[in-house]
Homo-oligomer: A and B are copies of this chain.
Amino acid sequence: MRILATGVGKLIKPVPSSDQVQQETRTLKSLALTNKVMSAKEAVQRYVQENDYVVSELTGNVRGPMALIREVVRQGFKDLKAAGNTSTLDIDLLLQAGCVKELDLCYVGYELLGTSYTMRKMIEEGKLKITEWSNATMAWRLKAAAMGVPFLPCRSMLEGTDTFKYSAAKIAECPFSGDRVCVVPALRPDVALIHVHRCDIYGNAQIDGITGSTLEVAAASKKVIISTEKIIDHDEIRKNPERTAIPYFMVNAVVEAPFGAHPGNMPYLYDMDVEHYKEYINYCKTGEGIKEYFNKFIYNVPDNDGYLKLIGEERLEELKRKEQIRYKYREE
């Protein structure tokens, strides 16, 4: 299995040996059933350190850990690394607030709603170090780490593309079939931020609808902070063990955060707050009002409850109603 080529991009997070992974698991992932419920403030203080590589588990605007992201911003980090995969407001906020200096990048943007002016400006001004990837190769990098293997082969992002050239992947030849494969290095983030529909006090979490890379991210990451729409009884978990998306031992902290994905979408619970997105994107585009936005929605509110008060009950109820109309057929 010869290595035929190597991308010139920096491997922002080096691949740990399995020895190190097992040792970290023993230190950081306990099988004890302990109550991990704490405030977002405490969770971020305890489990996010300056220089950490952070992954925010979401798919675009769905199930983003926005309450946790806002807390990370609030605590004023300056030197995080992060994964910009299918990212939207999560990474935009971290970049705009100056929290992140290095980014594995495959997509930051808003599709039909527009571009991330923040990311664009920082890169054009040389203020953000980046390494290039695609959505699938980043998802497979996380899957590799979740599987405990140092790399995975794939048939995408081969030589000839600049996406490969500016990545930190390699090209190899399969010793069985002769196929050329792109070999992607495992990505083991220091900390994962994940928002779920419900979990128990130990961190056993269930999600509904689009799953993205939930289990992969939780298993791949050294430390995991979960925020949840609500906390449910442990017995509910044991009634439907097939429904457990993340088992408790992967989780370090549980934060209760209703509407914690706002302004994003929480399948079956509430719709995207498109107006909120549009306002934010416009502030970034024009450069006007962005300071006020951060002051108003993040720095001058102590927590998620404070944030939700600013959004207002009426708007939140409206988002709930819109989403729930859509899925009434599930009850049919």
Contact = CB atoms under 8 A, between A and B. Distances in A.
Interface size class of A (residues with CB under 8 A): 35 or more
Contacts of A3: 1, 175
Contacts of A18: 155, 177, 179
Contacts of A332: 239
Interface in A33-53: none
Nearest to A149: B153
A175 B169 CA distance: 10
Count of this chain's copies in the oligomeric assembly: 2
Interface in A120-153: 147-153
A interface: dominant SS? loop
A152 B143 CA distance: 12
B239 A181 contact: no
A1, A147, A177, A185, most chain B CB atoms within 10 A:
A177
Contact of A150 (B11, B17, B181, B329): B181
Interface string A175-195: 111110101011000000000
Given A149-B152, A151-B153, A177 B208 contact: no
Contacts of A150: 153, 174, 176-177, 179, 181
Contact of A186 (B2, B176, B239): B176
Interface in A1-44: 1-3, 11, 14-18
A3 B175 CA distance: 8
Given A1-B2, A154-B149, A239-B329, A170 B175 contact: yes
Contact of A16 (B175, B177, B240, B329): B177
A164 to B, nearest CB: 15
A209 interface: yes
A111 interface: no
A303 to B, nearest CB: 31
